[in-house]
């Protein structure tokens, strides 16, 4: 009954919010903000017969390259940092300092190192998700229950077994959190790169929309990116639920 009420309220909230947007947009001048009815119709036609799907495919290609590289490097590094207090003490101040620099400020460097096109865009995705994954995985590996490690040790596990059989499974919830945060940041990096390097793919469509004062076009891409973020987030959550059912029962 409670769950049903929550779903009903959520539906009311979404419908109500969209209605509010519609009324507000129709009240304002059409140039300022397009109403949702126009935006969704636009998104549908642009997806069906327009430039959106090829652009999305191009965007996703650089997202995939940057994100996979970030995952492959940040997870082992994060585990190493989290499991060794000495390494953690050494790298933490440096990592915190680097983390304080907005990744978008790396754009001028990436431009010099990688040029204006695909490698630079993948590199920005990498930079933006790498640190997020690293810091989260390190925190997870540090927070492993000492009693779990003690049990492993009493059963005669060596260091390698301890990492593979205790530390890794115990930090899986953090690992999934890291993937979620990292992927959402990666999507942010993907669109940031397309707006700040040569404007292509979805970013190119946005720049065109901005030049034509076409808020419906701009908003349709924003809605698409929001849906992409939701799919990434909820998809990883669903995978987490299947992989770690114990975590969700707790």
Residues in 30-69 at the binding interface with another protein, rule: CB under 8 A: 31-33
4 binds another protein (CB under 8 A): no
Q: Which is nearer to another protein, 33 or 71 (CB)?
A: 33
User: Which of 186, 181, 79, 99 has its CA nearest to residue 139?
Assistant: 79
Q: Which is nearer to another protein, 80 or 222 (CB)?
A: 222
Contact residue for another protein among 5, 156, 245, 250 (CB under 8 A)? 5
User: Which of 121, 140, 249 has its CA nearest to residue 191?
Assistant: 121
Residues 138-197, interacting with another protein (CB under 8 A) = 139, 149, 174, 177-178, 180-181, 184, 187-188, 190-192, 195-196
Contact residue for another protein among 108, 155, 164, 239 (CB under 8 A)? 108
Shortest Cβ distance from residue 97 to another protein (Å)? 5
Shortest Cβ distance from residue 175 to another protein (Å)? 11
What token pair was written down for 100?
Answer: 């304080």
Contact residue for another protein among 12, 44, 53, 243 (CB under 8 A)? 12
SS3 of the chain: the string is CHHHHHHHHHHHHHHHHHHHHHHHHHHCCCCCCCCHHHHHHHHHHHHHHCCHHHHHHHHHHHHHHHHHHHHHHHHHHHHHHHHCHHHHHHHHHHHHHHHCCCHHHHHHHHHHHHCCCHHHHHHHHHHHHHHHHHHHHHHHHHCCCHHHHHHHHHCCCCHHHHHHHHHHHHCHHHHHHHHHHHHHHHHHHHHHHHHHCCCCHHHHHHHHHHHCCCHHHHHHHHHHHHHHHHHHHHHHHHHHHHHCHHHHHC
Contact residue for another protein among 35, 36, 58, 209 (CB under 8 A)? 209
Q: Which is nearer to another protein, 61 or 111 (CB)?
A: 111
> Candidates 40-48, 58-66, 80-88, 239-247 — which segment interacts with another protein by CB under 8 A?
80-88
Q: Which is nearer to another protein, 153 or 169 (CB)?
A: 153
Shortest Cβ distance from residue 88 to another protein (Å)? 8
Q: Quick check: 107 and 124 in contact, CB under 8 A?
A: yes
> Candidates 4-12, 43-51, 57-65, 238-246 — which segment interacts with another protein by CB under 8 A?
4-12
Shortest Cβ distance from residue 68 to another protein (Å)? 19
């Amino acid at each position: 009954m409670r769950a049903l009420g929550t779903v009903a309220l959520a539906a009311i909230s979404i419908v109500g919010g969209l209605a509010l947007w519609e009324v507000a947009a129709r009240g304002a001048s059409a140039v300022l903000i397009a109403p949702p009815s126009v935006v969704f119709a636009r998104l549908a036609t642009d997806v069906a017969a327009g430039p959106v799907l090829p652009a999305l495919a191009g965007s996703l290609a650089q997202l995939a390259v940057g994100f996979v590289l970030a995952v492959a490097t940040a997870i082992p590094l994060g585990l190493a940092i989290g499991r060794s207090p000495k390494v953690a003490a050494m790298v933490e101040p440096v990592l915190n300092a680097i983390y304080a620099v907005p990744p978008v400020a790396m754009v001028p460097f990436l431009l010099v190192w990688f040029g204006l096109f695909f490698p630079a865009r993948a590199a920005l995705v990498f930079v933006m998700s790498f640190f997020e994954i690293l810091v989260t995985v390190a925190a997870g590996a540090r927070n492993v229950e000492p009693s779990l490690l003690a049990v492993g040790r009493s059963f005669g596990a060596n260091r390698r077994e301890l990492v593979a059989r205790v530390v890794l499974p115990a930090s899986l919830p953090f690992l999934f959190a890291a993937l979620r945060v990292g992927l959402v940041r990666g999507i942010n990096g993907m669109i940031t790169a397309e707006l700040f390097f040569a404007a292509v793919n979805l970013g190119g469509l946005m720049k065109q929309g901005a030049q034509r004062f076409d808020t419906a076009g701009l908003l349709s891409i924003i809605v698409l990116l929001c849906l992409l973020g939701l799919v990434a987030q909820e998809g990883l959550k669903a995978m987490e639920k299947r992989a770690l059912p114990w975590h969700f029962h707790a």
